[in-house]
Amino acid sequence: MSTLYFLVGSQDLYGDECLRQVAADAVEMGKFLEGKLEGKAKVKVMPTIINSEACIENIRAANCDEDCIGVMCWMHTFSPAKMWIKGLQELRKPLLHIHTQANEFLPYDKIDYDFMNLNQAAHGDREFGFIVARLRIPHHVVAGYYKHERVIREIKRFADVARALCASRHLKVAAFGNNMREVAVTDGDRVESQIRYGWECNYFALGGLVQLVSKVTDAEVDAKMAEYTSKYTMKTDRIESVREQARYEVALDKFLAYNHIGAFTDTFQDLYGLKQLPGIAAQNLMARGIGFGPEGDYKISALSAVLMEMSKGREGSTGFIEDYTYDLTEGKELELASHMLEVPPSFASTKPEIQVLPMGIGNKEDPARLVFDGTQGDGIQVTLVDMGTHFRIICADIELVKQPAPMPNLPVARIMYRHKPNFAIGTAAWCYAGGAHHSVVSTALCRADIELFARLTGTEFIAIGDDTTEADLSKLAAGNC
């Protein structure tokens, strides 16, 4: 179970009675927040930190606990921050600084010197803020009374991002085939992405998967077909083509489980031994939280797995998508985003239909795929690019819309969206920022989630949205020079 360690700071200057109250308030606050986290994480209240040794011990405990996704700190009283230096230097978990108080209101008629000494986060949290800033530790600060909805919302956000970060650090990515020939933006520095995000991205021969495919039994295919027909509508009589995809998914399932892999890539240029490009097989895996990137795009495969983890427990859809084509009607510009086949069914607003249709590229058998119309609502589009000297995350606010008219001849699933603040600025900003044509779209996450992920991983972050202006375009353009 995901756990947040709660470290409350004080010192031994104020006497036992004060420290007893600090410990009791910490327990009460921890219990309250755990309830408000609604299963996202347990809150483990640690013994009050009153010296350097206690700090080191608590932070080591957090580091060594596999269930610990992050550390929350709060200074109930003043807590001289030199006692935090050595502990914080060892901290390996995401850090949240809750700048709050046990009391909401000042008791004007009763306040005395003891009360002021006991409840001095305004004093102690500034000292703590200084040392975290001085140590240059990326972290999140949430300020306000801990029972206020806004504060609770931010703590929940931290829990989601910290849990995703934890998953990121444990993520293994399998690359079947290499990067698509000649494509630049999908490539990247795998050593650096392992250092920064933890992604262990390794190459696997497709022949190994082909062997697994050949060993899948009819009974296993029958079971997978039963799953497909329970979730989706069969709109084809070419059942053998669908069974072929079911075989791929069963084989992929075994491969992923055996190698502890949470995300994978393939490429339509390297399908030697497979009759079809994995369509419904990849789509159904994405629906189960497995990251996917086509054309060898390991970055988007890993990022989609991480962002799907971040979105767990929230309303909305999250998954991989590719920018495809526009409706450039002036003032009403829209984008149609899709892929060859591999659009995650979490985006479906209509019950997905299983169809078997030809594919214009790839020279393979007609693949079975899920076709549906896309979901609607406010969302974000997120991508990660390798700038040579560093990674950059770009996050654009978008509005997913209903497709204006049916597209009876388009044989793939699709979503449609409107760019913000408008087409001209939104898409130009994306181009200036070097944004990829592969991204993760989410109606469950928002800019603040991605900004926090970028900050905690030390990644450059560029946001595009209603607050982006013409002047920002000039700045983005100048940033490339």
Q: Which residues bind Mn ion (CB under 5 A)?
A: 294-295, 322
What is the secondary structure of 438-459 as a DSSP string?
A: EEEEESS--HHHHHHHHHHTT-
Closest separation in Å from C-beta 396 to Mn ion:
18
Question: Smaller CB distance to Mn ion: residue 362 or 421?
Answer: 362
Question: Smaller CB distance to Mn ion: residue 70 or 278?
Answer: 278
CA distance 138 to 142: 14
Dihedral sign, Cα of residue 201, residue 202, residue 203, residue 206: negative
Dihedral sign, Cα of residue 286, residue 324, residue 398, residue 165: positive
Question: Smaller CB distance to Mn ion: residue 94 or 294?
Answer: 294
Closest separation in Å from C-beta 325 to Mn ion:
13
Cβ neighbour number for residue 64 with a 10 Å cutoff: 9
CA distance 289 to 312: 9
User: What is the residue whose two structure tokens read 């497909």?
Assistant: 228
Closest separation in Å from C-beta 290 to Mn ion:
17
Closest separation in Å from C-beta 401 to Mn ion:
22
Closest separation in Å from C-beta 339 to Mn ion:
6
Question: Smaller CB distance to Mn ion: residue 139 or 339?
Answer: 339
Question: Smaller CB distance to Mn ion: residue 78 or 292?
Answer: 292
Nearest residue to Mn ion by CB is 322
Query: Where on the phi/psi map is residue 89: left (φ > 0), alpha (ψ -120 to 50), or beta?
Result: alpha
Query: Most distant CA pair in the chain: distance in Å?
Result: 82
Closest separation in Å from C-beta 263 to Mn ion:
16
244 DSSP β-pair partners: none
Q: Token pair for residue 8?
A: 């409350």
CA distance 121 to 137: 20
Closest separation in Å from C-beta 201 to Mn ion:
18
Question: Smaller CB distance to Mn ion: residue 177 or 294?
Answer: 294
CA 210 to chain centre: 31
Parallel, antiparallel, or unpaired: how do β-strands 334-338 and 414-419 relate?
Answer: antiparallel
Question: Are residues 420 and 298 in contact, defined by beta-carbon separation less than 8 angstroms?
Answer: no
Question: Smaller CB distance to Mn ion: residue 84 or 417?
Answer: 417
Question: Smaller CB distance to Mn ion: residue 295 or 472?
Answer: 295
Question: Smaller CB distance to Mn ion: residue 87 or 294?
Answer: 294
CA distance 206 to 417: 35
Cβ contacts of 305 within 8 Å, gap of 6 or more:
167, 171, 173, 262, 263, 289, 290, 291
Closest separation in Å from C-beta 125 to Mn ion:
47
Question: Are residues 320 and 304 in contact, defined by beta-carbon separation less than 8 angstroms?
Answer: yes
- Helix locations, 363-456, DSSP H: 423-432, 447-456
Nearest by Cα to 440 from 288, 293, 265, 281: 293
Closest separation in Å from C-beta 291 to Mn ion:
15
Closest separation in Å from C-beta 266 to Mn ion:
11
Question: Are residues 78 and 122 in contact, defined by beta-carbon separation less than 8 angstroms?
Answer: no
Parallel, antiparallel, or unpaired: how do β-strands 291-293 and 263-265 relate?
Answer: parallel
Question: Smaller CB distance to Mn ion: residue 154 or 322?
Answer: 322
Closest separation in Å from C-beta 335 to Mn ion:
15
Question: Smaller CB distance to Mn ion: residue 117 or 269?
Answer: 269
